[in-house]
Amino acid sequence: MINVLFAAGPENWADYQAPLRACFAREDLNVALSTSHAAAETDYIIYAPSGPLQDFSPYRNCKAVLSLWAGVERIVGNQSLTMPLCRMVDPGLTQGMVEWVSGHCLRYHLNIDGTLSRQSGAWDRYVPPLASERRVTVLGLGQLGQACATALARIGFDVTGWARSAKAIAGVRCLHGVDGLSDALRTAEILVLLLPDTPDTDTLINAQRLAQLPQGARILNPGRGTLIDDAALLAALDRDHIAHATLDVFRQEPLPPDHLYWAHPNVTVTPHIAAETRPETAARVIAENIRRSESGEPLLYLVDRALGY
Ligand code: NDP
Ligand code: OXD
């Protein structure tokens, strides 16, 4: 019997219980799934940062912690976590992110906000350029950034991507390193942030880097709030260097009611909904990883604890 502890919070239990059981059965895994296994008898832990479990030290026989979240900044530095940590790479989550990013890029590209606010009776013909004339930069070319960059290139956008290491992605101009970042920013009419929250990415988008963006650039941040220096972004918005920002993630969530982003006319706030882990598809990933571990195969989506993602 394999004891799997669901420690991803009571609010998720109802949604995940049935898909997980179905996937364990499909993989022929003899699993006891519960929200309350004895610590020493727990083989795997399903984790979310919103869940109650933060001290992993009693789980001395646990073979892996399997996160339901893609971003692991709230667990990766946990000193009590001595077992392998896998993050979530879920086709449902990826598809959600592709839809959110593509939708908001098209919204900016077609000036949909401006068109909707012009219902005045004036026959004011705004003809947008074609997507091939619109330069979009995606910072972060991992599971999500790569899928979004590819989708944007398929729509026809002129896409540049940037990551820590060199990449080759069909239809995307791939850059990396410090020089690559300046190039990637210089051309970004629309900038998409899909980097993880790590010490290296903290406040990457500061005043100096915002100044490198073209006049009138727009920013989409579905990555993490820590990527942006908020004061610098607000200043760049106030002087119209940045025309608009759509922000899904924040240093403090929920975003406090008195935060300047809420009232700013050129900011759209979305409440961390860009992409949600989907129980049906995520359960397959969890079951596949337990199957792999039990048969001695390498785990999928292992987090590099030194890099922080
Ligand atoms: P991945 O780990 O697959 O990709 C991360 C990417 O960022 C990689 O391309 C990596 O480069 C790059 N990167 C990391 N550090 C640096 C750095 N210092 N300089 C340059 N590039 C760097 O993550 P995902 O694509 O799966 O997810 C990205 C983030 O999206 C998550 O960490 C999370 O914060 C956020 N997210 C937000 C959601 C939402 O609803 N708003 C939902 C899910 C995720 P390299 O390829 O070279 O390693
Ligand atoms: C995640 C998220 O990291 O929802 O999965 O932000």
pLDDT of residue 110: 96
Residue 71: both structure tokens together: 């971003």
| Ligand 1 atom closest to Cα of residue 72 | 32
| Contact call for residues 230 and 205 (beta carbons, < 8 A) | no
Which residue's alpha carbon is at the smallest distance from atom 5 of ligand 1?
142
CA-to-CA distance for 38 and 21, rounded, in angstroms? 20
Residue 248: both structure tokens together: 């899904």
As annotated, the active-site residues are 224, 272
CA-to-CA distance for 205 and 212, rounded, in angstroms? 10
CA-to-CA distance for 189 and 215, rounded, in angstroms? 8
Phi, psi torsion values for 30, nearest 5 degrees = -90, 85
pLDDT of residue 119: 67
- 196 Cα to the center of ligand 1, angstroms: 4
The ligand 2 site (C-beta within 6 Å) comprises: 69-71, 88, 277
- 163 Cα to the center of ligand 1, angstroms: 9
pLDDT of residue 115: 78
Question: Please, which residues have CB within 8 angstroms of residue 116's CB and are 6 or more apart in sequence?
Answer: none
Strand order in the sheet with 267-269: 172-176, 158-163, 135-139, 190-193, 217-221, 242-247, 267-269
* Most ligand 2 atoms within 8 A of CB, residue of 66, 193, 277, 285 to mutate: 277
| Contact call for residues 26 and 6 (beta carbons, < 8 A) | no
Going from the C-alpha of 66 to that of each of 42, 69, 97, 282, the distances in angstroms are 13, 9, 21, 11
Chain segment 268-280, per-residue pLDDT in tens: 999 999 999 999 9
- 115 Cα to the center of ligand 1, angstroms: 33
The ligand 1 site (C-beta within 6 Å) comprises: 70-71, 93, 140-145, 163-165, 194-198, 200-201, 222-224, 248-249, 272, 274-275, 309
Low-confidence ranges of the chain (pLDDT < 50): none
Which residue's alpha carbon is at the smallest distance from atom 38 of ligand 1?
275
- Bridge partners, 3 (sequence order): 32
| Contact call for residues 80 and 56 (beta carbons, < 8 A) | yes
Residue 235: both structure tokens together: 């200043």
* Most ligand 1 atoms within 8 A of CB, residue of 75, 94, 95, 144 to mutate: 144
Which ligand is in closest contact with the Cα of 68?
2
| Ligand 2 atom closest to Cα of residue 275 | 4
- Bridge partners, 161 (sequence order): 138, 174
Question: Please, which residues have CB within 8 angstroms of residue 206's CB and are 6 or more apart in sequence?
Answer: 229, 232
Which ligand is in closest contact with the Cα of 146?
1
Strand, coil or helix: what is 46? strand
The string of DSSP codes covering 120-184 is: SS------PPPGGG-EEEEE--SHHHHHHHHHHHHHT-EEEEEESS---BTTEEEEEHHHHHHHH
- 116 Cα to the center of ligand 2, angstroms: 31
Which ligand is in closest contact with the Cα of 224?
1
